[in-house]
Structure 1
Amino acid sequence: MTQGFPAMSGSLIEPEPAPAVKPFWRRTGTAVTTAALVAALFGGVTGGVVGALNAPGETVGTSSTPVALNSGSSTLDVSAVAAKVLPSVVQVNVAGAQGQGLGSGVVLSSDGRILTNNHVVAGAQKVTVTLNDGRTVDAKVVGTDPASDLAMVQAVGVSGLTPATFADSDDVKIGDQVVAIGSPEGLQGTVTSGIVSALDRTVTVPGATRRSNVSYQAIQTDASINPGNSGGPLINAAGQVIGINSAIYSPASDNGQAGSVGIGFAIPANQAKQIADQLT
């Protein structure tokens, strides 16, 4: 249950797509606003959505050699986790009437079914995905659920991709070590690490319109999450997805953009899997 702490001052940033040209959204303020290059969690280059929070890393290299992963959460071998999960993470590139942006996504099937945040693809007229091997392929949005801020994208003409493995997010505990992977500021394949800071944190971020705010009970982490991480996975020590990174908390800035201050939020894997099944 959410604890009854006073509401935080500042803003909740939902990493959105980072705009390659210019952001899709530009709302400013101290309570609810977006900040992105087009997106904080949404995109890669820059971006993010700022929302209201109801209170209750270190970048590492990767290894190409498979390593046995720890089945528990007491010890985190970041290089092993990265080696296992990086092939299952893509960059989602979008273009719309007002500009371009990008976000992250998690591979669900070998033929290119990809889960991401709805705010990453909302308003997109063209979508492509950049795979871990560097290929960029066409994609299409096949389902969206604005109420949960999740969407399904289908990459076209691909096969042999590596699906991510999902964990039971009900088993996640405060203090568990975690890894986040995505395209913060457009830097694809960035890996950061931290711990689960809190559970059942009520997060509210702006929806497509001012009257369609999105709220969910999130996993809170101090793993560095920035604009461009949106839609990417939060992963446990066994290399399993425990959440979909979707928002960050940050003090509001004059231009509406902000980076990680060690307070990020992910939609729990169990909720993500349930919605994903409905979007296929």
Structure 2
Amino acid sequence: MTTTHNGLGEPRGPDFQSAEGPHAAPPPQIPPALAGPKAPSRWGRIVGAGVLIVAVSAGTGGLAGWYAGGSGEPGTATVTRAAPAPDAPPGSLVSVAEHVRAGVVSVQAPRGGRTATGSGFVIDDRAHIITNSHVVAGASSVTVTGADGTRRTATVVGTDPSSDIAVLRVEPGPGLHPLVLGRSADVRVGEQVLAIGSPLGLAGSVTSGIVSAVDRQARIGGSQQSAVQTDASINPGNSGGPLVNSRGEVIGVNTAIATFEGGGSIGVGFAIPVDRAASVAERIISSSR
């Protein structure tokens, strides 16, 4: 039995879109020989205790150490260390991640005695932030945490549940850097992408992959809509965060994943195309003035 849900930012992060079909793989069966003993023997307990003692000894720097030359005398080991790593070249995924993370925030939205968590990203110098509508829907208050750890109270400028886009606003300040929005027409299947956000509450997490499809039908905002499909790992809490290309341009808003019942990411994630997200955000901001 499978269940279809709407997104990536419920109290524990995004809901899942379960992979459907009669051919879903059954859970793996563990052979009895690999299942492990039912209870440790006396010798098993002794060995376990021995491992623990060795670890503590090594940590205290007392009895455990290196012995050089087979002479039995304590000595020091000589190991080869790498030279200091050079700065990441411009345009590398490392430099892209460093730049983009500064514009990504974690979103916390309490409601009904629980707190929905998601992600978002800054889009202008007035500190407007795009996230998913389902992340902040029904929230009594919203706070965001930037890459520098600063928590800010956010105002919900507006939401559009049909597209699952919401716009927040905080007071501008250091540590909030707007990201550059790309163009949906420039997105290509096979190009490298990064998904950045707070999966499972792990703020500033970066995963990499490629664009798997550019016009995949997925359930977003309660209806079937075209989405950018990616195999970059997306999990609960990524909802509302950016999917960026190797130039650091946002090409989508991470929103949903497909999963087997009870599982996590299986490498099939969906993002709202950037052109649609930008159009909705601009409309929300304009109507609030």
TM-score higher than 0.5? yes
How far 1:179 moved relative to its partner? Answer: 0.5
**Equivalent residues in 2 for 1:193-232 (5 A)?**
193-205=208-220, 207=221, 213-232=222-241
**Deviation string, structure 1 residues 63-121 (Cα, Å, up to 9, x no partner):** 9x67422xxxxxxx221111110111000111112311210001012332100000110
User: Could you say which residue in structure 2 is the equivalent of 1:47?
Assistant: 13
**Deviation string, structure 1 residues 241-268 (Cα, Å, up to 9, x no partner):** 0000000000112xxxx31110000001
User: Could you say which residue in structure 2 is the equivalent of 1:115?
Assistant: 130
Is contact 2:18–2:260 with CA below 8 Å preserved after alignment? Answer: no
Q: Matched residues in 1 for 2:179 and 2:257: separation?
A: 23
User: Could you say which residue in structure 1 is the equivalent of 2:147?
Assistant: 132
Is contact 2:17–2:259 with CA below 8 Å preserved after alignment? Answer: no
Is contact 1:53–1:204 with CA below 8 Å preserved after alignment? Answer: no
Q: Matched residues in 2 for 1:96 and 1:67: separation?
A: 44
Aligned to 2:183, which of 139, 158, 168?
168
TM-score by length of 1: 0.73
Aligned-residue Cα RMSD (Å) equals 2.2
Q: Matched residues in 2 for 1:166 and 1:67: separation?
A: 22
Secondary structure (helix, strand or coil) at the match of 1:79 reads helix
Aligned to 2:172, which of 147, 158, 168?
158
Aligned to 2:281, which of 261, 276, 279?
276
Paired residue type of 1:47: G
User: Could you say which residue in structure 2 is the equivalent of 1:78?
Assistant: 93
Q: Give the greater-gyration-radius structure (CA).
A: 2
Aligned to 1:249, which of 233, 253, 258?
258
TM-score by length of 2: 0.71
Paired residue type of 2:279: Q
Is contact 1:177–1:196 with CA below 8 Å preserved after alignment? Answer: yes
| Aligned-pair identity (%) | 45
Q: Matched residues in 2 for 1:236 and 1:122: separation?
A: 29
How far 1:225 moved relative to its partner? Answer: 0.4
Paired residue type of 2:121: V
Bigger relative contact order, structure 1 or 2 (CA pairs below 8 A, ≥6 apart):
1
User: Could you say which residue in structure 1 is the equivalent of 2:74?
Assistant: none
User: Could you say which residue in structure 2 is the equivalent of 1:239?
Assistant: 248
Is contact 1:106–1:116 with CA below 8 Å preserved after alignment? Answer: yes
Paired residue type of 1:41: L
**Deviation string, structure 1 residues 166-198 (Cα, Å, up to 9, x no partner):** 111111111011011000000000001000111
Is contact 1:142–1:152 with CA below 8 Å preserved after alignment? Answer: yes
Residue segments in structure 2 that go unaligned for 5+ positions in a row: 22-84
How far 1:158 moved relative to its partner? Answer: 2.8
User: Could you say which residue in structure 2 is the equivalent of 1:263?
Assistant: 268
Is contact 1:54–1:202 with CA below 8 Å preserved after alignment? Answer: no
Alignment length (residue pairs): 220
Aligned to 1:95, which of 106, 110, 114?
110
How far 1:53 moved relative to its partner? Answer: 7.6
Is contact 2:196–2:206 with CA below 8 Å preserved after alignment? Answer: yes
How far 1:30 moved relative to its partner? Answer: 1.4
